[in-house]
């Protein structure tokens, strides 16, 4: 008797490559990172509040952007940083970004943020990334985020009450379809970090919004 093996999920890198290749996040151009990276109603308030935070320091911070995507957002923060390191898992996307965006303090790296060693910096930006990956990958990432003094984390969450952190297969949609979303302070993560404040909340539709929170590690 032949035993059929359960098909394993694609590695996250392959899934993300397919998303961009097939334009599953929309857009008429190659490497489009979706409305969360292009809607003025979402991006405008985000840039304003993150800029105010970065400008509040007399000495510029070094920033690590984990999951930089098409860099439509990050490009507006580079000159507010001492050094800006932009990371994504898709090799072709990183090569595209390198060719389009050039500043002396800007560096692009192709890394799997749940598996690879992350660059040193003062502040990590993780914008609408955890919502796409499994709980196991989030737990791995959170261990590394302890090395940054500040965290700016953006997630797409339901507006009504929900059960946080329901697990998903990486790349298979986001937790909204399960009436869930990522909260790093809740089980199973229980991140040992301090929530400083909500920087922005931008409406996405009648049932959900994009939340950006500032955290400080102890």
Which tens digits make up the pLDDT trace of 56-101?
999 999 999 999 999 999 999 999 999 999 999 999 999 999 999 9
Per-residue pLDDT of 19-41, as tens digits, reads 777 666 677 677 888 888 999 99
pLDDT greater at residue 122 or residue 1: 122
In a domain, 11, yes or no: no
Query: Which CATH number is 167's domain given?
Result: 3.40.50.150
In a domain, 150, yes or no: yes
What is the C-alpha separation between 176 and 155, in angstroms, rounded? 11
In a domain, 25, yes or no: no
In a domain, 149, yes or no: yes
Query: What are the DSSP calls for 76-132, one per residue?
Result: GTGGGSSEEEEEES-HHHHHHHHHH---TTEEEEE--TTTSPPPP-SEEEEES-GGG
In a domain, 14, yes or no: no
Residues contacting residue 131 through CB under 8 Å, at least 6 positions apart:
155, 156, 174, 175, 176, 181, 182
Domains in the chain, number: 1
Q: Domain span at residue 151?
A: 32-217
């Amino acid at each position: 008797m032949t035993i059929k093996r359960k098909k394993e999920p694609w590695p996250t890198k392959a899934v993300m490559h397919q998303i961009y290749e097939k334009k599953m996040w929309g857009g008429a151009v190659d490497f489009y990172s979706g409305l969360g990276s292009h809607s003025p109603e979402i991006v405008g308030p985000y840039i304003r509040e993150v800029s105010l935070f970065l400008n509040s320091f007399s000495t510029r911070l070094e920033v690590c952007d984990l999951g930089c995507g098409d860099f439509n957002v990050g490009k507006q923060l580079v000159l507010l940083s001492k050094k800006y390191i932009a990371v994504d898992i898709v090799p072709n996307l990183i090569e595209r970004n390198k060719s389009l965006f050039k500043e002396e303090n800007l560096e692009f790296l192709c890394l799997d943020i749940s598996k690879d060693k992350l660059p040193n910096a003062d502040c990590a930006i993780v914008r609408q990334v955890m919502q796409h990956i499994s709980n196991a990958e989030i737990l791995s990432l959170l261990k590394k985020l302890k090395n940054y003094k500040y965290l700016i984390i953006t997630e797409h969450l339901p507006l009504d009450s929900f059960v946080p952190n329901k697990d998903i297969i990486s790349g298979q949609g986001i937790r909204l379809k399960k009436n869930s979303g990522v909260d790093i302070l809740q089980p199973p993560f229980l991140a040992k970090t301090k929530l400083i404040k909500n920087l922005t909340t931008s409406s996405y539709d009648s049932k959900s919004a994009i939340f950006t929170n500032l955290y400080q590690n102890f």
